[in-house]
Amino acid sequence: MRAEELFPDDVDAMNVAGARVRKGSIAAFAHNALTLERVDPGSEQYALARADLLEGLPELRLAGLFEVFNVRLPRAARIVEEELARGVR
């Protein structure tokens, strides 16, 4: 399946297992994961990136992202592993 088949230009989200998955979810996740690695863990930027990363986890889990890909960036990987172990909804 190609991206435009899943998300044509006029569609910005789809329903997966009762959750709304937006078109930019994976790109936002990558941006936030990279930010977590680049900024000081005590900074406001880190806190915002962490919160945004956590907010997107349920839909990415439902979409099957973590069944296909491992998160390799250490800070993001730790956060994802902890949340998935907790049973993120």
For residue 62, give every residue at least 6 positions away whose Cβ sits within 8 Å of its Cβ, in sequence order, or none: 16, 17, 18, 19, 21
Q: How much is the pTM?
A: 0.86
- The pLDDT of residue 89 is 64
Side chain identity at 83, as an amino acid letter? Answer: E
- The pLDDT of residue 56 is 93
- The pLDDT of residue 13 is 87
Residues (pLDDT < 70) of the chain are 89
Domain boundaries, the chain: 25-86
- The pLDDT of residue 19 is 77
